Each structure stands twice: as C-alpha cells, then as structure tokens.
Chain A
C-alpha cells in the first residue's frame, strides 16, 4: 500500500547548518510513529517538512498521496486543511474563541464538515462546547486540540510534544485518544516526544541524531526506549567529544 507520509532524502538547512540531513522515511496508513531524539536533533523540523508547514532545502515529500515538494501554497494549505490534523505542545488554540469555534475552525475555513458532538464526546468534552478555551485547564485544552485535529477525519495527524506540558495521567488520556483514532479509524499519527512513556503508545519508533535517522523499528517497552535514547545521546556526546 502507498505510504501516507513519505520523505525521500530530505535535507533542511538553516544558513549553513543542516537541521535535517538526508532523511528518508515512509509511513504506511494506520501506523502510530513516535519520533525521538535529543534536543536540537531535528524532530520538529522533520515534522514541519513532512506536514507541509515548511519546505525542505533538498529532497522530496509526499503527503496523503500527493507530491507536495513544489505544490503551490494555496493547494498545499487546502490539502492540510482537508487531510491533516495538528496538535502542538502549546499555543494550539485561538483563545478568543470557544471550544466549539476552535474545533469547527477547519470546517469554517472551508474544510470537511465533521460531527462536532461525536468528536467532543469521544475526547470527553461534551458539555464544554460553549466555554471560552482561555478558561480551560491545560489537559482540557489539549483535548480540544485533539478534537480539532480529528474532526475532519484526516489521513494523518502530526503531533509535536502533545503531552509536553501535561502531568503523566492527563498525558496518557490524550495519547489514548490518538491511539484510539489509529485503531478505530485507521488514522496515521506521527508524534514527536521526549517521554518514553508517551512513545510507548506508538507502533514504530524513529530515533534522530544530528538531523539523521539512527534507528527505526517497532516500538519496544518504555524501559527499553529509555535505554535506547540514552545510548543514542551517549553516542552523540562521544562523537562530539571526539570532534572537540
């Protein structure tokens, strides 16, 4: 089957430094991928390039069956609106709007009309639809963000540290919502995280170091994830030590 997200030899440079250096990655439909790595290793950059929020300096990107490498901005925006959902760590919502208005934003912007009540119920926010999001707790806000990401029934959801600002049990609830979307609706999730526990919800683990993929395989249990992370960053430190 054709991958939902595909990066081929993607490089992203800021000035002379490469935040991503020849990354290739193919994600089949209905997979939950976790991307991990030390700070500055290029995780967010990878996510931005894969989601069409930024353009690589070199390489090709396919998203939801389309080549977006040189797609015009207007078409790319509509593709994101109709086929892609986003959950960021913070600043996910427009605080001037209510829960309902935030969740309905993609459809107000011309995207597919979704089932508001259904999606609010599935994330446990029924009854809060008319509340201004400024009054919600951090965990509730992330659930609003997940609801907004899922309401258009997207092919893929990109999440950048979606539980970074939450306590472990609230975080687990939010991750459970993403996991359900994968299992129930066949949504693909690509999630950046620092937390081995969060990565434990995924099917596949991709490890980045200095803009390159250094490991890619089925997700082990959280203890093994933490060990692998340590091994990768220790290797990075040793490498830096040698270079110095």
Chain B
C-alpha cells in the first residue's frame, strides 16, 4: 500500500514501461514455447526405441536449456529497459525523495511497477508461446529431427508457472535498475534530470571492463570443454561480454562519436553530437543489439567455418534445430532492442520539436535521426564482431568464416532493427506541430 502511493505517483510515465512490458511478453513467449515443447516430448506415446532416438537428438535438453537462457535474458533485458523507464522518472523520484520517500521505498515501488507489468505481459506471451511451440514441434517433425508420432500438447498448467517466472524475472530486473536512482542524492537527481549528464561512474566502468576481460579469458577456458557443455557456456560468456559492453556503452559511443566528428559536417555533425549526448540512453539499446548480432554470428560461423574448411555438409535436421533456436533468441533480443530504441526516442520528442522550432525541416530532423541510426548500427556491428571473434577463435582455432551473403544479410537486418526502433517512431513523433509538443511538455 505504501509502496503503492509512489508507484501511483509515477504512473505518468506509463508509456515508458512499454519497453519492459514488450520484453517480458517476448520472454514469456519463449519460455512457454520451450517448456511446452519439452513437456510434449515427455508425454508423447513413444516406443523405447523411438524414445532413445528422441533423447539422442538432444532436443529435450535443448528446450530446457533454451528456457533457462530465456530466464537470464529476461532479467537482463527487463533490467535494461526498466533502467530507461526509470531515467524518465528521475525528476519525480527526486521530488519524492526530497519530501520523504526513503531509498527503500523507491526500490519497492520500482519493483512493484515491474511486477505489475509482468502479469499482463506473461498472460499475452503465453498464447504466442503456444503458437510458436506448435510451429517449432511441427518444424522439427517435418525436418525429420523428431519422429512423426510426437504431437504438440499445449498445457494450461504452464501458465501459472510462466506468470510466476515473469514476475520473478521482472522484479529482479527492476531491482537491479533501481539501485542507482534510489541511492542518488535528491539534489543531484534534480539537476541530473534537467541536464542528463552522460558520464559513467568509476564502479560502472570497472564492472564493464571486468566483464569484458573476464569474457575473453573465460571463452578460452570454455573452448577446452566438451562440445555440448561448451556451446551452452559460451552463451553465458557472451552474455557477460554484452553486459560489459552495455555498461561501457556511453564511453564507447562517445568514443565513436569523437572519432567520427572531425570528418562530419552539417546534419551528420548534428547526429554525431546527438549520439554523444544521448549515449546513456542509446547504450541501453546496445546490449540487446550486440547480443543479437554476436549470437547469430557465433552460431552461423560455428557451422559454416568447419563446412568451409572440410567441405563436408552437416545433417540438415541438426542444422535446422540449431538455426531455428538461434532465430528465436535473435528475435527476442531484436524486439528488446527495438523497444529500448523506441523508449529512448519517445523521451526525445521534445528535443525533436525544439530542433524543428529552431529551423530544422521535418526531413532534416529525420535525416539526423537516420544518421544517428547509422552510427549506432556501425558501433553495434563492430562490438558484436569483436565479441563473436573472442568466443569463436579459441573454439575453432582458426579465423571464423562466414559467407559474404550471410554477412550482408546480417548487416541489413541489424540496420532494419535500428531503423524500426528510431526512424519509424521519429516519423510518427514529428507528425504534429512542434509548438504543440513543446507547449505540452512544459510542466
């Protein structure tokens, strides 16, 4: 109840919760899909020989591992999106802190918001998950990975579990995101909300660098493990590096901006400066973006490099299992990336309007946003390539090989994701008259 009043006070920023909601919804979809698939395999009327064959495909293990990975990704990505949502609330949080809300109360109210978001998100994700599970099991039987007698058996018993996992992951992500705003001194929060200083503190920089370094070291360790274990562990190593990159994100983005700045003029210069100024918000989007690209690169290269070297083709069914699983995670992270980018851009609606009032035509404003998207895409691709390389080289013991067409498609897809998260909302947000936007935003 007492946490309720602060949560209620922050409800003005409801739309900022879109990011965590969407992320949690997709997480619930994936968890539902994987858990129901595993359950369907267990319940299928199989002869002992068929059961042994199914076990040998490692699909049951993969489904459980995938569900677990989804839980980790949900905590991470809800944390990232919740972080952005809270950044929008900073001024209200500062006011609440000034007039008597303790840090603990702020943390509880953020956790409460996250929990409240999780219930409808999980409820929505469940039916999507059933659809996805149905399609996946269908695909696995069609490609001969699973025997035809395996039928998809959706279960309502999974729903409470999915909602429970959703609440737990959301609350954990929310609590992680609330640490800093709850501890910040009210006076500092009041000025910071007005100026949004882009710098990061020493603890964050250390943690980020530590995670990246640990990731590089661990990927060498993981490469010596048995292949099945290594695949799964490599994912967590990659996750750690992506989080590290996200923590260092503001510094990295400002570094990129500083490099590009001398060569830029006009609109591009404006975009470069915007990326530097908004580096904190954009770094939130870097985590899922880099995750998507690095994950896809690692998966694809770990199949294409040996095939390229030996000229041997892998069994199609096995390839299909791995690629379809990868596609699910890439879609998950891509949607989270779009959600963070949209949240960041909506938060800049007033800035866009002011730019137009200051004399920028709508086309120019959109061009600036497009150039920002180019910079973010390039940064994400570069970082992802680095992370994928760090994971792959020790495993493959050679330079990774990916066919050029795949690379091109990857770049295009990444650019598409960034465009969907920046250009599309920018087009929508610049539709009205800028004066109205500015007037409405003034308190």
Q: Which residues of A contact B (CB under 8 A)?
A: 48, 51, 53-55, 73-74, 77-78, 80-82, 86, 88, 90-97, 101, 105-106, 108-111, 148
Q: Which residues of B contact A111 (CB under 8 A)?
A: 100
**With A77-B103, A91-B443, A92-B95 as contacts: A54 and B9 at CB distance below 8 Å:** no
Considering only CB atoms and an 8 Å cut-off, how many residues of chain B contact the other chain?
A: 28
Residues of B within 8 A of A48 (CB): 186-187
Can you list 9 A-B pairs, Cβ within 8 angstroms, ordered by A? Answer: A48-B187, A55-B185, A93-B95, A94-B92, A94-B95, A94-B96, A96-B10, A97-B8, A109-B5
Say which residue of B8, B183, B186 sits within 8 Å of A96 (CB atoms).
B8
Chain A residues near B398: list those with CB within 8 A: none
Query: Taking A74-B104, A96-B9, A105-B5 as contacts, is the C-beta distance between A54 and B95 under 8 angstroms?
Result: no
Task: Decide yes or no whether B52 CB sits under 8 A from chain A.
Answer: no
* Given A77-B100, A91-B190, 11 more pairs with CB closer than 8 A: A48-B186, A48-B187, A73-B102, A86-B98, A86-B99, A90-B443, A91-B95, A101-B9, A105-B96, A105-B99, A110-B2
Shortest distance in angstroms between A103's beta carbon and chain B's nearest beta carbon? Answer: 11
Taking a contact as CB atoms under 8 Å apart, the answer to whether B187 and A54 are in contact is yes
**Which interface residue of A95, A109, A111, A148 has the most chain B CB atoms within 10 A?**
A109
Query: Which residues on the A side are within 8 Å of B102 (C-beta)?
Result: 73-74, 77-78
Which residues of A are found within 8 Å of B95, using beta-carbon distances?
A: 91-94
Contact residues of B between 1 and 35, Cβ < 8 Å to A = 2, 5-6, 8-12
Taking CB atoms, residues of chain A closer than 8 Å to B187 are 48, 53-54
- Kindly provide the distance from the CB of A32 to the nearest chain B CB, expressed in whole angstroms: 21
Is B438 an interface residue when CB atoms closer than 8 A count as contact? no
Which residues in B have their C-beta under 8 angstroms from that of A73? 102-103, 183
B9 contacts A106, CB within 8 Å? no
Across-interface contacts of A90 in B (CB, < 8 A) = 443
Chain B neighbourhood of A96, CB < 8 A = 8-12
Contact A78 B100 (CB under 8 A): yes
Q: Which of A53, A91, A95, A109 contacts B186 (CB 8 A)?
A: A53
Task: Indicate if the CB atoms of B443 and A74 lie closer than 8 Å.
Answer: no
Name the residue among B97, B102, B104 with the largest chain A CB count within 10 angstroms. Answer: B102
> A97 CA to B12 CA in the complex, in Å?
9
**Does residue B91 face the partner (Cβ distance < 8 Å to A)?**
yes
Return the CB mask of B96-129 against A: 1 if under 8 Å, else 0. Answer: 1111111111000000000000000000000000
Q: Is B188 an interface residue (CB 8 A)?
A: yes
Give every chain A residue within 8 A of B97 (Cβ-Cβ).
Answer: 77
Taken together as a complex, chains A and B put the C-alpha atoms of A96 and B185 apart, in Å, by: 23
Residues in A neighbouring B185, C-beta threshold 8 A: 53-55
Contact bitstring B367-394, A, C-beta under 8 A = 1, else 0 = 0000000000000000000000000000
Measured in the bound complex, the distance between the Cα atoms of B186 and A101 in whole Å is 21
Nearest Cβ on chain A to B430's Cβ, whole angstroms: 24
User: Which of A91, A97, A109 sits near B99, CB closer than 8 Å?
Assistant: A109
Complex formed: what's the CA distance from A106 to B102 in Å?
Answer: 11
Do the beta carbons of B443 and A110 come within 8 Å of each other? Answer: no
B94–chain A nearest beta-carbon distance, Å: 9
Nearest to B193 among chain A residues (CB) is A91
Q: Does B100 lie within 8 Å of A95, measured CB to CB? A: no
CB distance from A190 to the nearest CB of B (A): 14
Chain B, residue nearest A96 (CB): B12
Bound: A90/B99 CA distance, A: 15
B103 touches A74 (CB 8 A): yes
- Complex: A53 Cα to B184 Cα, angstroms: 10
B98 near A53: Cβ-Cβ < 8 Å: yes
Contact indicator B186/A105 (Cβ below 8 Å): no
- Out of B8, B92, B99, B188, which one reaches A106, CB within 8 Å? B99
User: Which chain A residue has the least Cβ–Cβ distance from B104?
Assistant: A74
Chain A residue with Cβ nearest B189: A53
Measured CB to CB, the closest approach of chain B to A148, in angstroms, equals 7
A106-B100 in contact given A94-B9, A96-B9 (Cβ < 8 Å): yes
Minimum CB distance partner of B5 in chain A: A108
The CA of A88 and the CA of B185, in the complex, are separated in Å by: 16
- Complex Cα distance, B92 from A105, in Å, reads 13
Beta-carbon contacts under 8 Å, B119-176 to A:
none
Expressed in whole angstroms, the minimum distance between the Cβ of A54 and any Cβ of chain B is: 4
**8 Å CB contact of A54 from B5, B10, B96, B188:** B188
Contacts of A74 in B (CB 8 A): 102-104
Which 9 A-B pairs have CB atoms at the shortest separation, nearest pair first?
A: A81-B100, A54-B187, A48-B187, A53-B187, A96-B12, A109-B100, A53-B186, A94-B9, A108-B5
Tell me how far the C-beta of A56 lies from the nearest C-beta in chain B, rounded to whole angstroms: 11
Residues of A within 8 A of B183 (CB): 73
* Minimum CB–CB distance for A51 against chain B, Å: 8
